[in-house]
Amino acid sequence: MTLPAIAALMMLASGAIHAVVNAILKSGKDKMSSRALIDGFSGLIILPAAFVVALPHGAWGWLAASWATHLVYLVCLIKAFERADMSVAYPILRGVAPLLAAVAAVALFGEPIGWLTAAGIGLVSAGVLAVGLGRHVDRRAIGWALATGACIAVYTVIDAQGVRAAPSAASYIVWVFLSLGLGIAAIFAIWRGPTFLLTARAEWKVGLAAGALSIVTYGLALWALRLGDTPRLAALRETSILFAVLIAVVFLKERLTRGRMAGVAAIALGAGLLIIG
């Protein structure tokens, strides 16, 4: 199997797991406290690996930029989930991300993009947006979701460069989760104060599971970005919406319209073009 094919499979797996993590976050009563639990546990789980892998020399600047972008991203994500159903907010925020990431990767870093990849990105993004947009969507929710999508595009491009600059993929992955888990989680926990303690007592088990899954989902994504090109792989990860819609309908009892079904079909077709492209 070729490296591009391996990278594509890693991104597809990453997308599926990512949908589960976001469903756990959406189901939490206090979103910021739940996010602090998820990131805190991911940092603690990966901490022992910091004594084994090499320091990410050459990537410290990328790590700092990633940390700052993730902080803004998580605040926007929490606000979006507080104002809209997962089946609305999640598609919007994931839909704009691959388009913006592709433009940035090609324009700023000269990454290659063929017509099949471009068509696949367009179909995935259009399909994802079709799944989320509707007549009765809170405008503020759309604003938060679009801001979240822009942050996703920024940190995707940053982390793609960072993981390639580091001595190894494992080195960058470990330090990404350490910085996010022990930094942002602490900020959110302090921000919520006593509410975080109550949430931790009630949700620590699901927080632990989601923290472990976070390492797997973004670890796979970062490893894939070291192996392949950003535009194609960033769009492939957005197939997570297929799993997110399934979770939202089956477990969260949210409604699936004909328009959203058409969007799902567009995503599937786009993913096929990205895989063969």
Q: What is the mean pLDDT of the segment spanning 213-233?
A: 93
- Looking at residue 10, what is its pLDDT? 93
User: Does residue 113 carry a pLDDT above 90?
Assistant: no
CA distance 5 to 10: 9
In DSSP notation, 178-227 reads HHIIIIIHHHHHHHHTHHHHHHHHHHHHHHHHHHHHHHHHHHHHHHHHHH
Please state, in angstroms and as integers, the Cα–Cα distance from residue 104 to each residue in 109, 146, 189, following that order: 8, 16, 33
- Looking at residue 277, what is its pLDDT? 63
Q: pLDDT by residue (tens digit) across 197-210?
A: 999 999 999 999 99
Residue 145, CA atoms < 13 Å, CB-side half-sphere: 26
Locate the domains of the chain by residue range: 3-276
Q: What are the backbone angles phi and psi of residue 251, rounded to the nearest 5°?
A: -100, -35
Q: pLDDT by residue (tens digit) across 130-161?
A: 776 665 667 788 888 889 999 999 999 999 99
Q: What is the mean pLDDT of the segment spanning 95-109?
A: 88
Q: What is the mean pLDDT of the segment spanning 79-90?
A: 76
User: Does residue 93 carry a pLDDT above 90?
Assistant: no
pLDDT range class, residue 40, cuts 50, 70, 90: very high
- Looking at residue 267, what is its pLDDT? 84
User: In the numeric block, which tokens belong to residue 10?
Assistant: 């890693």
Mean pLDDT estimate for the chain: 87
Q: What is the DSSP letter of 54?
A: P
CA distance 248 to 267: 17
Q: How many Cβ atoms are within 10 Å of 32's Cβ, its own excluded?
A: 22
- Looking at residue 197, what is its pLDDT? 92
